[in-house]
Structure 1
Amino acid sequence: MRTRPLRAILSALGIGIGIAAMVAVVSIPASSQRALAEQLSALGTNLLTAAPGQTIMGDDAPLPMTAVPMIARIGPVTDVSATGSVETTVRRTDRIPEAETSGISVIAARTDLLAVLRGTLHKGRFLDQVTENFPTVVLGSVAATRLGIDRVGGKVWLGNRWFTVAGILDAMPLAPEIERAALIGAPAAAELGFDGHPTTVYVRATEAQVEDVRAVLAATINPEAPLEVKVSRPSEALAAKRLTETSFNALFLGLGGVALLVGGVGVANTMVISVLERRREIGLRRALGASRRQVRGQFLAESVLLSLLGGIVGVLVGVGVTAGYALTRDWPAVFPPAALLGGVGVAAVVGALAGAYPAMRAARLSPTEALA
């Protein structure tokens, strides 16, 4: 390996690429999962949402206006708030056609909504007991981008009048509908035709009793028709979404395996050629008393060392790729020990398999045949 460094590096390169791919494919999803766990831990996995379902006839079933106070009576419930859909549009100016809504909905929100959702403000302030009575609006992060609003104090055309932008929210992964909405106070929404019926109820419960609250939530909201209430847990949907995003991991692992196979073939080819080039050395060693076992061990050790070199380099490259990708996504970099140790172990196994035939071929050479 020392006398032919270029050949050794090129032989180990294929192994290194395969190991790097496998380490990265295992470590990147682990980093994503850790980031998701931290995000859910910060946002809280104890959030439940209730929305209107459908009647037996297939019509939309409105939630009762008493939904919030009824839910607040459930013992393990710690916080509850609600929003209601307002049948109007919001646009950048009154010159834009009413049909061009940019996918932004108008929602009547309670003043405690932000606290219940554990959301944060990017700029400005949220609705309070004073501003909810006036034409002020708080924009979700996506809504602000689509409207071209990047500061508070500006105005948007909402319904049939100008509303002043009081605040802009940060992203809210557990409530994506809020990100694409313009939030106004319930009294101001009533002037635009809001009937007071909530369309989404957000509930925070004690972590240990979330499932118990979930079981009785529909019956509490609408005792007469609990089947007309849909109850969900947004954190589960977010986790499922992230799992679907990692569905290509098997494909990437397959590609890494192919690269590893190609690297193993490269090492085997190198060792076969090495046996042919070193026939005189093999014959001389056999003539000086080396056994077949010793010759076989020599070439097998060389093959394993080549593969280990590629494995170590591959692990280092995989760690670097994972760390770089995690840094760009603001994730914690996670490296499962099984991936790191397994990468080196797999490289050693590939080297042993790739070097087995050349080693046995070298051991079968007789001293006279080799020296001739």
Structure 2
Amino acid sequence: MDFRDLAGEAAAGLLSRPVRAALTTLGTVLGITTLVVTLGVAATAGNQIVGRFDELVATAITVEVPESPHAPLVGWTAVDRLTRLRGVESAAAVAESKEGANLSVRSTDIVDPTRVTTQSLTVLAATTGLPEAARGRMVRGRFYDSGHVRRGDRVAVLGDQAARMLGVTALDRAPAVFIGKHAYTVIGVLGDLRRERNLSTAVIVPHTAGRRFGLRDVNRVLVNTSLGATGLITRQAPAALSPGNEDMLQVVAPPSPTRARDQAQDDVNALFMILGLVSLVVGAVGIANVSLVTVMERVTEIGLRRALGAARRHIAAQFLLESTLIGLTGGVIGASLGVVTIVAVSAAKQWTPLLDVRLAVAAPVVGAVVGLLAGLHPALRAARMEPVDALR
């Protein structure tokens, strides 16, 4: 029996029971489709996870400035030099002092025993780029500008929680807050802070108007960098802020989550791989079960072939080829459906689909191998049958 005869007999055996062959193939289709989809979705989801981690890569830097008994290490205009560095998106200098902590702040100069109008809040000074550096926004009003700083205007910006505590709900009438005995006009409310959230309970004033509270020298500088520029700016920021004294400044940058990102991607890939293999095993069991039932139903045919001179290897090869064709057909259909499903899911989620081409090519081969292994036991059982016993 040459290969053409063997292939013809195997095809005839499958086509004689088309419904059963289709249902058996469906098991392999589901298994291969699940395998391709799970691995493809794992790669696509893993890429999205990597993207999310990349967004969290350390782009926020804080430069701590120690006190100096002589001239300040960092001047208020040093931030302008820092923002000229390539990779710096925003920066702001901040001054805090012991005198400015827990100051008595009230929103009215009238003593009202029926309500609490005085709060203990922190007063600090900052440069005009603070909203961007703190990754917040002005929920009301605006932040003070260089004109306010240059003139030393008594203006203040409240954190959103501080504004709520002081009862400042509108700015159309230029409300004032009293810090000790000094009145400051509130021109804005800062909120939605993603960094330096302690600013939500603070009163922020220009450094030229806050010297009476000890807010003279810069204590720290907030820097936001573009993605991937953290390492470079970490090395360059001290020299830009304080040339000659860069060793005295301390740069604090959050650790990069690279290891956690890689571990999460590996865990996702391993999970989906296990799910795909389980589905494939289920499909293999279905092929083996149907092949075994087919052998039991075709005992008479097997006996007749053996009586006409077919060798055991011919019987085994026929049933192995039938199960292999089922697996190969299921692999081709499953790989196609899997690729289409991955593209559809990615389009629905607005993701970039990722699929290894080798997986799509190898899926039919995997289906054929699964069918071959699943039909091994039924084929050997058919080959062991004696002609007389089979005919009887």
TM-score range relative to shorter protein: 0.5 to 0.7
Count of residues paired in the alignment: 336
Q: What stretches of structure 1 of length at least 5 have no aligned partner?
A: 56-62
Q: Label 1:69 to 1:361 Cα distance change in 2 as closer, same or farther (>3 A).
A: same
Shift of 1:187: 1.0
Measure, in 2, the Cα distance between the counterparts of 1:107 and 1:49.
19
Q: Label 1:358 to 1:201 Cα distance change in 2 as closer, same or farther (>3 A).
A: same
124-133 or 1-10, which deviates more? 124-133
Which residue of the partner structure matches residue 284 of structure 2? 264
Q: Label 1:162 to 1:316 Cα distance change in 2 as closer, same or farther (>3 A).
A: farther
Q: Label 1:292 to 1:265 Cα distance change in 2 as closer, same or farther (>3 A).
A: same
Measure, in 2, the Cα distance between the counterparts of 1:322 and 1:191.
61
Aligned to 2:45, what secondary structure does the other structure show?
A: helix
Confirm whether residue 26 of structure 1 aligns to residue 38 of structure 2. no
CA offsets 1:7-33 (integer angstroms, 9 cap, x no match): 443465445444433332233213444
Q: Label 1:345 to 1:128 Cα distance change in 2 as closer, same or farther (>3 A).
A: farther
Shift of 1:211: 4.8
Shift of 1:52: 3.0
Q: How does 1:186-197 map to 2 (within 5 A)?
A: 186-187=205-206, 190=210, 195=215, 196-197=217-218
Measure, in 1, the Cα distance between the counterparts of 2:76 and 2:284.
65
Identity %: 23
Confirm whether residue 3 of structure 1 aligns to residue 13 of structure 2. no
Q: Label 1:77 to 1:3 Cα distance change in 2 as closer, same or farther (>3 A).
A: closer
CA offsets 1:223-251 (integer angstroms, 9 cap, x no match): 6683761343x6x7355554454353223
Measure, in 2, the Cα distance between the counterparts of 1:309 and 1:95.
79
Q: How does 1:1-372 map to 2 (within 5 A)?
A: 2-4=18-20, 5-10=22-27, 12-33=29-50, 49-52=61-64, 64-66=73-75, 69=78, 72=81, 77=86, 79=88, 81-84=91-94, 110-112=127-129, 127=143, 129=145, 134-136=155-157, 176-177=194-195, 182=200, 186-187=205-206, 190=210, 195=215, 196-202=217-223, 204=225, 211=231, 214-215=234-235, 217-218=237-238, 226=247, 229-232=250-253, 237=256, 239=258, 242-246=261-265, 248-249=267-268, 250-287=270-307, 290=310, 292-311=312-331, 312-313=333-334, 316-317=337-338, 320=341, 323-324=344-345, 327-328=348-349, 330-372=350-392
Measure, in 2, the Cα distance between the counterparts of 1:156 and 1:370.
103
CA offsets 1:148-179 (integer angstroms, 9 cap, x no match): xxxx979999997995656877x9xxxx4268
Give the letter for the 1:29 counterpart.
G
RMSD over aligned Cα atoms? 5.5
Structure number with bigger Rg: 2
Aligned to 2:19, what secondary structure does the other structure show?
A: coil
Measure, in 2, the Cα distance between the counterparts of 1:96 and 1:347.
76
CA offsets 1:250-277 (integer angstroms, 9 cap, x no match): 2342333333333323322332222222
Residues 44 and 351, structure 2, Cα contact 8 Å, conserved in 1: no
Measure, in 2, the Cα distance between the counterparts of 1:164 and 1:288.
103
Residues 84 and 107, structure 1, Cα contact 8 Å, conserved in 2: yes
Q: Label 1:273 to 1:126 Cα distance change in 2 as closer, same or farther (>3 A).
A: farther
> TM-score, with normalisation over the residues of structure 2?
0.59
Give the letter for the 1:187 counterpart.
P
Q: Label 1:253 to 1:46 Cα distance change in 2 as closer, same or farther (>3 A).
A: closer
Measure, in 1, the Cα distance between the counterparts of 2:212 and 2:339.
57
